[in-house]
Amino acid sequence: MAFVHLRTHTEFSVVDGTLRIDEAVDAAAADGQAALAITDLSNLFGAIKFYSAARKAGVKPIIGADIWLDPAPGEKVASRLVLLVQDRQGYLNLCELLSRGWLLNTQRAQAWIKWEWLAELHSGLIALSGAEHGAVGQALMAQDTPRAHEIAARLAQLFPNRFYIELQRAGQPGNEAHVRAAVPLAAALALPVVATHPVQFLTPEDFEAHEARVCVAEGETLTNPRRVKRFTREQYFKSQAQMEALFAD
């Protein structure tokens, strides 16, 4: 089955992306990928530039965003969710969600989206669970399977036939544990799964430059031994063959 990237941060993610839009589009086209999604963190700044570049290159553009979601009822930690645009109404709804987040619910310099806003503005949007950083994944990693089922069922109700359990193998410590827990959950709830790759830069050689940018954004230094490293060298723009090999099982 053909693979396309559905989770891509570009330089417009500001704090954690160095990938240029034209580089991403060129890489997708060169690899024969039929489509490409740009999902910058809490913004659509690059959407128009991306749409134009992708159409010109013969790659289907998928507009989306990686969002921060308010803690679920009973939870204290915000989570991540990827929203992909299906149609015009979905684009308008995503714009409204992000606008509300920035204007009405800014936490720790990030726009957080409220669950009630999702309930109101879900039409025309596809939701990806966020892997271990999503609300479902956080519950699974805490070994709270009933809670994970509850949250997944709620999201599936908000996005009927448009909610996917997201699986990743990007060299991060929790990836495999999450995959082992998420696949049975998806089967139990009859939810589809999707393999994604959290792209932050173009090639493995770009990792150091990416880390430098993250340090600047976080007020950190590369030499600080206590710095929390949130990214890996594996988060480059992988080919279809590389992704198929990663998920051969």
Q: What percent of the chain has pLDDT over 70?
A: 100
Return the pLDDT at 145.
Answer: 96
pLDDT at 133 over 80: yes
pLDDT at 1 over 80: no
For residue 31, CA distances in Å to 36, 55, 137, 189, 199 come to 11, 16, 30, 34, 15
CA 195 distance to own-chain centroid: 11
Question: What's the pLDDT band for 55 if we cut at 50, 70, 90?
Answer: very high
When mean pLDDT is compared over 24-38, 72-86, 212-226, the highest value belongs to 24-38
Average pLDDT of 67-72? 93
Question: Which superfamily does CATH assign the domain made up of 11-246 to?
Answer: Metal-dependent hydrolases (3.20.20.140)
With 0-12 CB in 10 A as exposed, 13-18 as middle and 19+ as buried, what is 183?
middle
Distance CA(161)–CA(115), nearest Å, equals 18
* Better-predicted residue by pLDDT, 232 or 186: 186
Average pLDDT of 142-146? 96
pLDDT at 103 over 60: yes
Task: Give 199-244 pLDDT, tens digit per residue.
Answer: 999 999 988 888 888 787 778 888 788 877 888 899 999 999 999 9
Under DSSP, is residue 237 helix (H, G, I), strand (E, B) or coil?
coil
pLDDT at 197 over 80: yes
Interhelix angle 21-30/47-57, rounded to 10 degrees, is: 30
230-241 CB burial, b ≥16 within 10 A, e <16: ebbbbbbbbebe
The structure tokens listed for 12 are 């417009």
Pairing of strands 110-113, 106-107: antiparallel
Q: In the chain, what is the straight-line distance between the N-terminal and C-terminal CA atoms, in Å?
A: 13
Q: What percent of the chain has pLDDT over 90?
A: 80
pLDDT at 33 over 90: yes
Q: What are the structural domain ranges in the chain?
A: 11-246
Average pLDDT of 40-48? 96
**Phi then psi for 135, rounded to 5 degrees?**
-60, -40
Return the pLDDT at 114.
Answer: 97
